[in-house]
Structure 1
Amino acid sequence: MTCAACVGRVERKLGKLAGVTATVNLATGRASVEHGPDVPVATLLATVEKAGYRAGLPTAEPPAADPVRDLRRRFAVALLLFIPVADVSLALSLVPGLRFPGWEVVVAALALPVVGWAAWPFHRAALVNLRHGTTTMDTLVSVGVVAASGWSLANLATGEVATATGWAAVLHPSGPLYLEVAAGVTTFVLAGRYFEARARRGAAGVMRSLALLRSDEVTVLDEDGGERTLPTDLLRAGDLFLVRPGERVATDGTVVDGVAAVDTSAMTGEPVPAEVAAGDEVTGGTIATGGRLVVRADTVGADTRLARMLRAVEQAQVQKSAAQRLVDRVSAVFVPVVLGVAAATLAGWLLAGATTHDAVAAALSVVVIACPCALGLATPTALMVAAGRGAELGIFLKGHRALEAVRAVDTVVLDKTGTLTTGRMSVVALACVDGVAEAELLRLAAAVERASEHPIARAIVQRAGGELPSVPDVADFEAMPGLGARGTVEGRAVVVGRVDEALLDDDLRAATGGWAAAGRTTVGVTVDGRIAGAIALADPLAPSAAGAVAALRARGLQPVLVTGDGPAPAHAVAAAVGITEVIARAMPDGKVAEIRRLQAQGRRVAMVGDGVNDAAALAAADLGIAVGAGADVALDAADVVLVRDDLRLLPAAVDLARATLGTIRGNLAWAFGYNLAAVPLAAAGLLNPLVAGAAMALSSLLVVTNSLRLRHAAVDNDVLAVVSAHKQP
């Protein structure tokens, strides 16, 4: 499949079967089909085959051919050969004195691999379309390339190329070669297809990345306590399974026995592992970082949270494919009209008594001048120029969908951890009992935590390393999953972990209560059984967060905070950056639900996130924006990527996207307007094929020139400061 027309054809063919509803995902090349038991799968596959496409059941095997690699190879060869074809053909047609014996053969030899091998995907698609009685832009490209090439080779075979001299080669329709026209159309359209295929491959990578979160095998406990390893697909609701330290939780369930710290960042995005014990729920795809758990499976297969997350991403991508490029949407009308005009031109000239030569030249002019060179360039050239400008600023615009979405976005949903905050825990406050200095409290806590890999431990050790000259060694270290850690430091028993309210004095109780209200994480430090103090940790606010939110408001966009964290830290961060609308404790499917809720209110939503847990929401939103240091799956799901971890690039991305969209719309308006004006002139015989080719080239030049203006797209001084800072050694 190459365009939205292909998607629509497959969906229509399948939809004609009784009781069948189909949705085709252009990005992944998959179809989601609902059908009754009376419609066998073989019938569905045969229907797709009859529509002109290969079909099979989904497998885990990689595709035999990489369309991106094939398009890249064809585009590279076409570009390499088109440049000398264009230079030689144009120069020798206009300046006969530069001609050398056999020059036309050289041009033909350079052009034939382009119009034959490089353009073969268009020819093949056109033949398939012809067999099924349909047309797409591939049809027009193929007809134009074949017509221009065939006419040129006919002139070459009859020797008429050599008889044309000076401006007669331009004004008279009999002599010149038009191979540069055919090669140019092929090269430009291949460029657009190549960059589009790259974007589609990235979209398909989202599904592969999310699938990596699933556990392939699970250790199931029998009734007699025995253990056996099974494929996760064979796990059933109610089964008890084992989760060892470092293993992924196989499916959603409830802890029956054991205590452990579970890394939930894939689902909630939060940097601090959740401490779970008997009676707590755990989610499939999360990782037990410490402790051993026995879990009862509550939901399996398609009902798990991870499976719903995968479905949300795929459904969102299906919606993306339904809003493909404007050129694809109008091709169903534009292509038949152009071919009809060309046929009418040929018939009209013949009926008027013109020679076959003149009639064919006029019809060929119609096809050549209508070839979608400017149409094919309108989007990719603007995107390429915008990509270069974005690269300078640290912004990556993935494709046309992002630009279409930006013009109507009025709400920006922001994740908290790793987006508005740094995503790394740090010590923000210490409180001690009388007689204990803060430095001593930090020194003892760091001595114990230096032997732990917990994010809280790393934050305490990092703070001590920046303030203290040295940290003593710990003996008899013991990690206590769900509780903390303990050890012996300089002969004293030190415990760092959960705060025991019974041990706190009034001052410490007031301090820890204030920290809890502010959404901070609190750990207590006891020495020889007596409380010595407490340490507050938090995920610090990103320095650029408040300014970015203010800039979004200035552009008429409403910010909303949606996070998997609890209400207290969520509201604390929201208050600090100036956000009033907050949704806390939102799991991945909950984030998607919030996106859908906002969209149901008539709002056009952009989602900004960085984690695996944000991928489904990024795909479901009208516009997905990922922070560059985030998880690969988030970067794949997003339409815009901020390469640098600075949210001041967010409003700049909006500005650049809006400017790029305006440029593309101007390009398309010119390209369509040019065709509407030029095709009647060609049909009237006022433009011969070479002049038509020159007009087409001029149209393309204007489109490229308009796109190049994006190199100087204006941005705020704050963004320029970010760029300058990153350029400094």
Structure 2
Amino acid sequence: MQEKRYDVNGMTCTACALTIEKQLKKVEGVQQVAVNYATEKMQVTYDETKVSVDILADAVRGAGYELVAPAEGKGPQEEAPLMKKQEEHQEQLKKRFWTSVLFTLPVFYTAMGPMVGLPQVPGLAGDRNVMLLALTQLFLTIPVMLAGREFYITGFKTLFKRNPNMDSLVAVGTSAAFVYGVYVLYAIAYGLGHGDHMEVSHYGHELYFESVAVILTLVTLGKYMEARAKGKTSEAIQKLMELAPEEAVVLKEGQEVRVPTANVRVGDRVVVKQGQKIPVDGTVVEGYGSVDESMLTGESLPVEKTVGSGLVAGSMNKAGYLLCEATRIGEDTTLSKIIHLVENAQSTKAPIAKLADRISGVFVPIVILISLGTLLFWWAGGYGFNFAFIMAISVLVISCPCALGLATPTAIMVGTGKGAQHGVLIKSGEALEMLAQVDTVVFDKTGTLTSGSPAVTDVRALLRDEKELMAIAASLEGMSEHPLSEAIVQKAGEEGSPLYKASDFEALVGQGVRGQVELPDGKPHPVAIGNASMLEAMGIGVEECLKDADRWSEEGKTSLFIAVDGKLEGILAVADTLKEKSVPTVARLQRMKKKVVMLTGDHRKTAEAIGRQLGIDQVVSQVLPETKALEIQKLQQGGRKVAMVGDGINDAVALVQADVGMAIGNGTDVAIESADVILMRSDVEDVSTALRLGDKTILNIKQNLFWAFIYNVLGIPVAAGALYLGLGIRLNPMIAAAAMSFSSVSVVLNALRLKRFKAEGNAGPAVGTVRKATDTRGTTSREERKDQGMEKTLKIEGMSCMHCVGRVEKALGALEGVDAVKVDLEKGLAVVTLSKSVSDDILADAVKEAGYEFKGVF
């Protein structure tokens, strides 16, 4: 089966989309088709052995519309011109509207002006000049009809094909009024020719050319406003497309050559200087830069890029020089895939739209029948043809299914676009709707709630200081490739501990390592690092640190005892640490009344310890990869709507099993392919953002559908004269036209309120703040922290960009005793929050080592 997306030209309302769907479903080999009036796109799944693009195009043409096949291999640079079609359509509608206004105003004035006391145009007043008045209105109305000829071309074409749409209603209504006006003109001429002044006076007040002109003008205005509003719903895609530069600088034979981005090939060396956008996905082979990836990931701080770092098309090099090798081009770039993903989501339909589709599919024919019934009812009731005719015309022009058809797709367009801006990619309208129904969130542990790699969390030294103990441990562990060894080496590096020469290295599987380490005295000393049983087997007592080991074990940490020269010198704990935002994210989900579950293959004791730190409702431990989906299934069988959040290959089946699968953006391709939602920032905080966005979007759709239904339920009876017999109230066709036009606009404007959606911050740091995840202290006010010497404000000179901010934050944040750092680039200040006393000299040295000038503490 082949799944493709095409543009469709010629649609004017939601009935058009439904007509195309019906026509294509008749084609043998077409499995599924969804036509979106709001995006003017069609997504179709078909058997390529039975169906070709030509067959699809013929079927669409048979319904009265035009299918536009996409070119293969297009990147954002080539797709961007497609977005201009909307702008050109808006401009065309704008010209049509002002042309209509130019001729409608004099028609309206000559017809309605005298009724409200305005002076009549000289030469057109009185029964003697009624023929001149009628001819003037006729010749002013014809240009308005020519300007709105698309209503008639499309309306009558679809009517004759027995697939009437909204244009059919306008075309039939205004044509009937125009033909009746011509009939009246002949009646006036007959009366004048035969001296029948009563006939002339009677028909002189039954010209409805002004209704034709005003209806066409108001409907055109509504179409223009609708097109403008619809254009705003696709701003997210437009902004993504604008990210890709049209040109790239390629290094050829040592020379920098500027070429169209479309001409860059895989393997080309691309130069990206400060302030330039990155044209293709690539890998840095030379240079250093600070890259802003915020539009793609939602992450506001620039990311440091060095040799070997990956680059994403559309991001911007804020500082530095980068030479990269192109790895993905055109539609293969991450940017193109994101654009396609958002477009696909906007082209799909949410299940909630099915009711509106069913109603819209039969709406126009029913309206035509109601209009005819209205005409016959009032005419047969003795109210005259003129009265009955006006009632019937009002029914036709007020009845527009566009509001119903726009209710769902416009909200989905804005919702998915807003999600993309926050780094939350939602693959379909169905996934977006399901997000609003989720009541249980299941997290994979490793790599999702935790960092996925072990880190040293605690150190206790007995005979020497911690820094020296870490130096000894890292010197020996540096000869091992075990993940725990890497964690110890990394910790020593962060603290600036020196590494000594090690020899006679031996790894004891499941126990630890041992060997010789040459200390500063120049002599080799036997060192052993491992669990308690290993050291005890070597005759080394570990009783002094057993309480630490037991306590850390309860916290889910692995304890390693360190012995030098046959004596116990200390103990350290290693654990897969929680991500900084895991705790506040779980808390937020619980405030949203969501049940939170953690799945892990870890031992029960470790899993429960992590569960306690997170405050999670339910922990399921010792789960095999193949049984994760079964755990999801159990929750679903209990009536739960489940969202699964994971990042690995072993999460793929569970992601598919869940009602909504969410993949962390740095996860494997398999996990991302299996998921319904992709969190580009690799940030668990975005889980709550996705759920809130789903809630807001579905609420918006329900509001749209409610008002669209209410509008038609109330509007059609009033137009048909339901209030006339009792209250004497009837609806003029011109007022009906205005109401019809603005009903669609109001639905789109309501959908645009979603653009104000903002992701909630959490208990973690704001932009420009570095906070350590191990902070468990109680909260104190800023004044208290100042009084206690726990907060210091540093004056720093030399910072010029966010890259500088990042370097200062990193340098100060790495100091022992520094709990948090917040840098104000504009003011040149850094606010440092301390957990213990840190001297001004140490802070100054850190700033200087980062390359900036320390001006004192305030």
TM-score tier (shorter): 0.5 to 0.7
**Corresponding position of 1:309:** none
What SS is found at the alignment partner of 2:213? coil
Q: Which moved more, 1:664-673 or 1:612-621?
A: 612-621
Query: AA paired with 2:711?
Result: Y
1:427 CA displacement:
0.8
Q: Which residue of 1 aligns with 2:399?
A: 370
Query: Which residue of 2 is the match for residue 417 of structure 1?
Result: 446
Distance in 1 (CA, whole Å) between partners of 2:397 and 2:588 is: 48
| Residue 653 (structure 1) shift | 5.2
Counterpart contact for 2:477–2:513, Cα < 8 Å: yes
Is residue 508 of structure 2 the alignment partner of residue 464 of structure 1?
A: no
- Distance in structure 2 (CA, Å) of the matches to 1:571 and 1:368: 65
Note closer, same or farther for the CA distance 1:664–1:588 as it changes in structure 2 (3 Å cut). farther
One-letter code aligned to 1:702: S
Q: Structure 1's 382 and 50: CA in aligned 2 closer, same or farther, altered over 3 A?
A: closer
Query: Match of 1:77?
Result: 88
State the Cα distance separating 1:662 from its structure 2 match: 2.5
- Match 2:165 to one of 131, 134, 140: 140
Label 1:185 to 1:14 Cα distance change in 2 as closer, same or farther (>3 A): same
Is 2:442 the counterpart of 1:404?
no
Distance 1:455 1:141, change over 3 A: farther
Q: Give 3-state SS (helix, strand or coil) of 2:92's partner.
A: helix
Between 484-493 and 73-82, the greater mean CA deviation after superposition? 484-493
**How far off is 1:335 after superposition?**
2.3
Q: How many residues end up aligned between the 2 structures? A: 570
Q: Which amino acid aligns with 1:602?
A: G
Residue 338 in structure 1 maps to residue 364 in structure 2:
yes
Deviation at 1:671, TM superposition (A): 0.6
**Alpha carbons of 1:141 and 1:596: their partners in 2 closer, same or farther (altered >3 Å)?**
farther
| Cα distance, 1:687–1:424 mapped onto 2, change above 3 Å | farther
The residue number in structure 1 matching 2:577 is: 540
Closer, same or farther: CA 175–438 of 1 in aligned 2, 3 Å: closer
Distance 1:28 1:155, change over 3 A: same
Cα RMSD (Å) of the superposition? 6.5
Cα 1:713/1:330, change in 2 over 3 Å: closer
Say yes or no: does 1:592 pair with 2:608: no
Shift of 1:5: 10
State the 1:533 CA deviation. Answer: 6.5
User: How far off is 1:609 after superposition?
Assistant: 3.6
Q: Indicate conservation of the 8 Å contact 2:437/2:641, yes or no.
A: yes
Q: Give the equivalent residue in structure 1 for 2:742.
A: 698
Counterpart contact for 2:535–2:541, Cα < 8 Å: no
CA positional deviation for 1:412: 1.9
* The one of 526, 544, 552 aligned to 2:589: 552
1:316-327 correspondence to structure 2 within 5 Å: 324-327=350-353
Paired position in structure 2 for 1:439: 467
Distance 1:394 1:7, change over 3 A: same
- Do the aligned partners of 1:426 and 1:460 also contact (CA within 8 Å) in 2? yes
Letter of the 2:445 counterpart: K
Match of 2:456 among 427, 432, 441: 427
Q: Relative to 1, partners in 2 of residues 1:49 and 1:95: Cα closer, same or farther, differing over 3 Å?
A: closer
Partner Cα distance (1:83, 1:442) in 2 = 73
The partner residue of 1:174 within 193, 197, 212 is: 212
Letter paired with 2:438: V
Match status 1:507 vs 2:542: yes
> What SS does the corresponding residue of 1:536 show, helix, strand or coil?
strand
> How far apart are residue 605 of structure 1 and its match?
1.8
Quote the Cα distance in structure 2 between the aligned partners of 1:638 and 1:389: 19
Shift of residue 598, structure 1, vs aligned partner = 0.8
CA distance in 2 between counterparts of 1:395 and 1:467 reads 36
**Unaligned residue ranges in structure 1 (runs of 5+):** 17-21, 34-40, 55-60, 161-166, 203-317
For the pair shown, which has the larger CA radius of gyration, 1 or 2?
Answer: 2
Q: Work out the CA distance in 2 between the residues paired with 1:610 and 1:105.
A: 64
Q: State whether residues 383 and 397 of structure 1, in contact with CA within 8 Å, keep that contact through their aligned partners in structure 2.
A: no
Given that 1:628 and 1:644 are in contact with CA atoms closer than 8 Å, whether structure 2 keeps it comes out as: yes
Q: Deviations over 1:527-551 (max 9, x none)?
A: 8999977653212223443333333
Task: Return the alpha-carbon distance in structure 2 between the equivalents of residues 451 and 356 of structure 1.
Answer: 100
Matches within 5 A, 1:103-114: none
Displacement of 1:322 after TM fit?
11
Name the CA shift for 1:507/1:341 in 2 (closer, same or farther; >3 Å): same
Q: Report SS of the residue matched to 1:422.
A: strand
Indicate the SS of the match to 1:537.
strand
Q: Give the 5 Å matches for 1:475-494.
A: 490=518, 492=524
Which of the numbers 561, 564, 588 marks the counterpart of 2:598?
Answer: 561
User: Would the alpha carbon gap of residues 73 and 477 (structure 1) be closer, same or farther in structure 2, given more than 3 Å must change?
Assistant: farther
The secondary structure found in structure 1 opposite 2:640 is: coil
| Matches of 2:693 and 2:535, distance apart in 1 | 57
What displacement does 1:476 show? 10
- Pair 1:423–1:64, CA change in 2 (3 A): closer
Q: Report the 3-state secondary structure (helix = DSSP H, G, I; strand = E; otherwise coil) of the residue aligned with 1:425.
A: strand
Offset at residue 601 of structure 1 (A): 0.9
Pair 1:582-2:625 in alignment: no
Tell me how far apart the structure 1 counterparts of residues 601 and 713 of structure 2 sit (CA, whole Å): 53
- Deviation at residue 358 of structure 1 after TM alignment: 10
Q: 1:472-520: per-residue Cα shift (whole Å, max 9, x none)?
A: 4678999999999999864859999875943444427946676556443
Corresponding residue for 1:601? Answer: 638
Contact 1:189–1:377 (CA<8 Å) still a contact in 2? no
For 1:603, what is the secondary structure of its paired residue? Answer: coil
**1:154-175 deviation line (CA, Å, top 9, x unaligned):** 99999x9xxxxxx999994333
Q: Which runs of 5+ in 2 are unaligned?
A: 7-16, 36-41, 62-69, 111-138, 186-204, 241-343, 723-729, 770-821, 826-858
Q: Counterpart of 1:224?
A: none
Give the TM-score, by structure 1 length.
0.57
Whether the aligned pair in 1 keeps the contact of 2:418 and 2:757 (CA below 8 Å) is yes
Distance 1:563 1:197, change over 3 A: farther
CA shift at 1:421, angstroms? 2.4
What is the aligned partner in structure 1 of residue 355 from structure 2?
329
Which residue does 2:786 correspond to in 1?
Answer: none
Q: Secondary structure at the match of 2:165?
A: helix
Contact 1:343–1:363 (CA under 8 A) maintained in structure 2: no
User: Helix, strand or coil: the match of 1:539?
Assistant: strand
* 1:468 to 1:326, Cα distance in 2 relative to 1, 3 A: closer
1:156-200 per-position Cα deviation (integer Å, ceiling 9, x unaligned):
999x9xxxxxx999994333472773685599589879979999x
> Are the equivalent residues in 2 in contact too, given 1:85–1:180 (CA < 8 A)?
no
In structure 1, the residue corresponding to 2:579 is in which secondary structure? Answer: coil
Q: After alignment, is 452-461 or 487-496 more displaced?
A: 487-496
Structure 1 residue 597 displacement after superposition: 1.7
Say whether the 8 Å CA contact 1:552–1:558 is kept in structure 2. Answer: yes
Matches within 5 A, 1:712-727: 718=762, 722=766
Confirm whether residue 663 of structure 1 aligns to residue 700 of structure 2: yes
State the alpha-carbon separation in 2 of the partners of residues 465 and 196 from structure 1.
48
Question: Is contact 2:360–2:404 with CA below 8 Å preserved after alignment?
Answer: no
Residue 676 of structure 1 aligns with which residue? 713
Distance 1:62 1:695, change over 3 A: closer
Aligned mates of 2:514, 2:580 — CA distance in 1: 35
